Amino acid sequence: MSQLDVLWGSTLRNIRLDLVRLEVELTIDVPHEGSAADRHMLTVAGLGSLAFENSIPDPWTYAEVTEARAVRNGELIALELILWSEEAQLRVSGRRAWLDGVEIAGE
């Protein structure tokens, strides 16, 4: 089981990019029927890359995270979030990453 499995089916609420500090922070909510959503913070430091690719033509009412994975490749950790389908992906790589303050090891 991956540390990021908790994010599957969640909603991406916000992306904060700090180019001076080379850091990206994603605010992600996991909804629960009949109660408040769990809020998670996904942070990448030592930013190496940030990319969003989308071929879904229509606007969205929200951005659902349908898959999330982290892969360690030497010095860098690469995170990939699938938004709705394989046609929309957010990829971030950096030296270190945390989910709610717990460092992500990667697969």
**Residue 33: its pLDDT value, please?**
79
Q: Where are the domains of the chain?
A: 3-103
**Residue 1: its pLDDT value, please?**
64
40-77 pLDDT, tens digit per residue, is 999 999 999 999 999 998 999 999 999 999 999 999 99
What amino acid is encoded at 90 in this protein? L
> Hey, how many other C-beta atoms are within 10 angstroms of the C-beta on 28?
25
Nearest to 91 by CA among 79, 82, 99, 83: 79
Cα–Cα distances (Å) from 91 to 10, 75, 78, in that order, read 16, 16, 7
- pLDDT bin (cut points 50, 70, 90) of residue 107 is confident
